[in-house]
Amino acid sequence: MKCPLSLIIKVYQDNTTMERLGDCHEAECAWWDIITERCAVKELAVQLRVVNANLFRLGKNMTLK
């Protein structure tokens, strides 16, 4: 898996640059969530989707009355 937090930038002799994402280090990383056994950034995205769905449902229920 490529890590969105570790950007590797290489500068070549002709001053061109190349950017790429580094590899996930899983349990060695400070962002690794040991409870869900996945990257905290991915877990945050999942939880934000849940919050978004619940807010949408709540808003829809409030406008029906």
Residue 65 pLDDT > 60, yes or no?
A: no
Q: What angle do CA 58, 49, 36 make, to 5 degrees?
A: 125
More confident residue, 65 or 50: 50
Which residue is associated with the tokens 């962002």?
A: 31
Q: Is the dihedral of CA 8, 44, 46, 43 positive or negative?
A: positive
Question: In which element (H, E) is residue 39 found?
Answer: strand 38-39
pTM of the model: 0.56
pLDDT tens digits along 7-58: 888 888 898 888 888 888 898 888 898 998 889 988 999 999 999 999 999 9
What whole-number distance in Å separates Cα of residue 5 and Cα of residue 41?
A: 9
